[in-house]
Structure 1
Amino acid sequence: MTDQPTAAQPEPQPESQPAPASPAAAPAAPVSVPPQAPVPDSVWARDAPVVPEAPAPAPAPAPAPAGDPADGLDAFYAPPAEAAAPAVDPEVRRARRRAAVRWGCAAAVFALAGTGTALAVTAPERTDIPGLATASDGRYTFPALTLPPLPAGQGVPQSPARTHHADLRYLVLPAPKEAGGARVPVPFPSPAAPTASASADATATAAPTPAATAPAPTAAAPATATPGFADWVPCDAFLAEQQGDAAKARMVLNRDVCVGATVREWTASDGTRTQIRLLRFDSTSESWDAYTWLRGKGRLKAVPDSDSASTKDWDTVEGVSLTALNGTKKGGAKNDPTGRIAYLSAGDVVGIVTMTNPGGVAAAPFRQVVTLQADLLS
């Protein structure tokens, strides 16, 4: 038997023994190491392909509720049985009804009270309600203005002639309530055609005599038939009110043929005296000539010294020219002029409005009177 050489076996290596701990060193405290990803067995595992994990299977859909397929959605969205509203106690229901009735009655009471208050505030005049009355600025209370009737066959005055055919006395502004006047419109008598005597008087008056007088009232419309009418006066009665050259004023009235005049005066409760005088001339051109002289050179005794006053903010009246003057003398707590004058020209009629008061004439009533008088003449 041939002996085979035996391969040399490696000598076993002695196992490495841990170094004995130094008796002086204290045992180390345990250190908590955060968990780490597992280290591959070999460094060559870094290049190994990464196999993605399989996705978790989706949960199976819940089975549809049993029933009619057409009602599947209604059954699906139906609230669970435990979510149903609990039954309301009958006593609670009655209490809610009583509360609703009480609140409804309270709302009805407040609505009725508000309606009654609104009626109580709006029904009477504003000036009669305490706390809502506006402080008076001095304006007067006039009745509703109405135009007088025209004689038979005569029409409304038209431009450029603008001859007034109505009775001149009916064109004067009536007295206000503050001067004892009525708040209702003055009733006018039925218009009548001028009689022969009235026409004769008018013709005689039209002549340029030193004492030109107005036509006498006819029997159909006497001056005292209806209270509130103005009075006929002679044209030369105006001369007594002039402070300047009365002879020159007389010549102007005769040259321009003043054919009639009327006047109305009143004194209001505030002490203001108002005079409105209307002068009718034979034509529009003669009326304008007299108006130009009176507003420029005329001087009234009631307001001897006066200055021109602005009227640019006044309400304009078509067909009526206006010139306003304020007295230079002042009076009253507000230092208002003690006299104010306005000259009006409307076709064949010239109007003169004079207001005087030692305590001062406020601008508001003066403007009111002049504007209303212009409305009647326009």
Structure 2
Amino acid sequence: MTEQLTPPAVTDEAPPEPSGATAPPRRVLRAVARWTAALLVCGGLGAGTAFGIVSMDRADVPGLATRGDGRWDYPDLSLPALPAGSPRPFTDGNRGEIHHADLRALLLPLPSGAEQDKVLDGGWITPERFTEVYEKEKRAEVALALDDYAVRHVAARGWTMPDGTTARVYLLRFNSAGIADRFKVHVIGVGLDSGLPSAGSPSLELDPVWTSSGLVERTTAYLYAETKPYDGEQTRLGYVQAGDTIALLTHARKGGAPGVPFHQSVILQNQLLG
């Protein structure tokens, strides 16, 4: 059992006043003690909330409901059922960190008000269609790498929001976490920039306000944003790796793609894969 840490008890009995004219009044000491206790409690609550996000029961995932700050209204999410006897990716004994659930069931669902893309409808797509994310001169190279790294499945969903934001989510499953990681590093080349240039948005830099808060333990996320001046619309792009699976998410909108719903989408997709 984890030992519970509690702040020291606070009473109204102040310690004896030291001699001399500089000793503070009792009411000041009492106020300081009460504020100290309050800070300890608030700090504990904050830490507990953060811990709850990354170590929640992996049966349900909160939708991070809209709170008037620009977040989209996603439904509450639940992890799909697994085949009998199959472990989740980060449990003991699953050395390859394999996702055994149907990859399509791990895709982020449509938020409220979204219009479903007719092609990226939440089903399987070919590796060749996935390569359309990147600039034309890189697509043959990416297709060859997907074959070399033996990608098992690619699933995708896309939609358009009422404000004109277009969103795309792609999930790529490999044979193990090690292979997925090598594809991420040696083919995509994520790092200080987004690596492979995406179609229409060659200049993507690290998102300066992304903090990785709320990610599932043992997963990673890399977020990038197109810098000004951008041609008509701004693109935001993110990669998430969770075991054997890599997620690619993009948001784009004329005049600028808001950061809040993009960060929300990345966190929720990460939680589904964790």
TM-score past 0.5 threshold: yes
**Are 1:289 and 2:182 matched, yes or no?**
yes
**Are 1:145 and 2:77 matched, yes or no?**
yes
Cα distance in 2 for residues equivalent to 1:168 and 1:229: 13
Cα distance in 2 for residues equivalent to 1:355 and 1:313: 18
Which among 192, 211, 218 is matched to residue 312 of structure 1? 211
Give the 4+ runs in structure 1 shifted more than 3 A: none
Q: Deviations 1:348-376 (Å, cap 9, x if unpaired)?
A: 10100000001211111110000000000
Largest Rg, 1 or 2: 1
Corresponding residue of 2:252: 356
Q: Deviations 1:130-149 (Å, cap 9, x if unpaired)?
A: xxxx9833210011100001
- Give me the CA root mean square deviation: 2.4
Corresponding residue of 1:303: 201
Q: Tell me how far 1:313 sits from its aligned partner.
A: 5.6
Q: Residues 163-242 of structure 1: matches in 2 within 5 Å?
A: 163-179=98-114, 230-242=122-134
Cα distance in 1 for residues equivalent to 2:227 and 2:164: 19
Paired residues, number: 195
Which among 155, 178, 191 is matched to residue 262 of structure 1? 155
Which among 340, 343, 367 is matched to residue 263 of structure 2? 367
Q: Deviations 1:63-110 (Å, cap 9, x if unpaired)?
A: xxxxxxxxxxxxxxxxxxxxxxxxxxxxxxxxxxxxxxxxxxxxxxxx
Q: Secondary structure at the match of 2:132?
A: helix
Give the letter aligned to residue 145 of structure 2: V
User: Taking structure 2 as the reference length, what is the TM-score of the superposition?
Assistant: 0.65
Cα distance in 2 for residues equivalent to 1:180 and 1:262: 18
Query: Would the alpha carbon gap of residues 355 and 265 (structure 1) be closer, same or farther in structure 2, given more than 3 Å must change?
Result: same
Cα distance in 2 for residues equivalent to 1:361 and 1:330: 13
Q: Deviations 1:214-237 (Å, cap 9, x if unpaired)?
A: xxxxxxxxxxxxxx9711111221
**Are 1:321 and 2:213 matched, yes or no?**
no
When you count strand as a share of all residues, which structure comes out higher? 2
Greater relative contact order (Cα < 8 A, sep 6+): 2
Q: Deviations 1:232-275 (Å, cap 9, x if unpaired)?
A: 11122112221152232123211211010000001011110000
Query: Would the alpha carbon gap of residues 345 and 135 (structure 1) be closer, same or farther in structure 2, given more than 3 Å must change?
Result: closer
Q: Tell me how far 1:165 sits from its aligned partner.
A: 0.2
Cα distance in 1 for residues equivalent to 2:229 and 2:107: 28
**Structure 2 unmatched ranges of 5 or more:** 1-65
Q: Secondary structure at the match of 2:240?
A: strand
Cα distance in 2 for residues equivalent to 1:245 and 1:353: 18
Cα distance in 1 for residues equivalent to 2:121 and 2:77: 13
Q: Give yes or no for contact 2:127–2:143 (8 Å, CA) kept in 1.
A: no
Q: Residues 15-164 of structure 1: matches in 2 within 5 Å?
A: 136-158=68-90, 160-164=95-99
Query: Would the alpha carbon gap of residues 373 and 240 (structure 1) be closer, same or farther in structure 2, given more than 3 Å must change?
Result: same
Q: Secondary structure at the match of 1:141?
A: coil
Query: Would the alpha carbon gap of residues 330 and 355 (structure 1) be closer, same or farther in structure 2, given more than 3 Å must change?
Result: farther
Give the letter aligned to residue 223 of structure 2: A
Q: Give yes or no for contact 1:272–1:361 (8 Å, CA) kept in 2.
A: yes
Query: Would the alpha carbon gap of residues 236 and 137 (structure 1) be closer, same or farther in structure 2, given more than 3 Å must change?
Result: same
Q: Give yes or no for contact 1:302–1:356 (8 Å, CA) kept in 2.
A: no
Query: Would the alpha carbon gap of residues 259 and 173 (structure 1) be closer, same or farther in structure 2, given more than 3 Å must change?
Result: same
Q: Tell me how far 1:345 sits from its aligned partner.
A: 0.7
Q: Give yes or no for contact 1:295–1:323 (8 Å, CA) kept in 2.
A: no
**Structure 1 unmatched ranges of 5 or more:** 1-133, 182-227, 332-336
Give the letter aligned to residue 111 of structure 2: P
Q: Give yes or no for contact 2:121–2:156 (8 Å, CA) kept in 1.
A: no
Q: Secondary structure at the match of 1:240?
A: helix
Query: Would the alpha carbon gap of residues 256 and 278 (structure 1) be closer, same or farther in structure 2, given more than 3 Å must change?
Result: same
Cα distance in 2 for residues equivalent to 1:234 and 1:313: 30
Give the letter aligned to residue 216 of structure 2: V
Q: Give yes or no for contact 1:235–1:259 (8 Å, CA) kept in 2.
A: no
Q: Give yes or no for contact 2:225–2:236 (8 Å, CA) kept in 1.
A: yes
Cα distance in 1 for residues equivalent to 2:101 and 2:246: 15
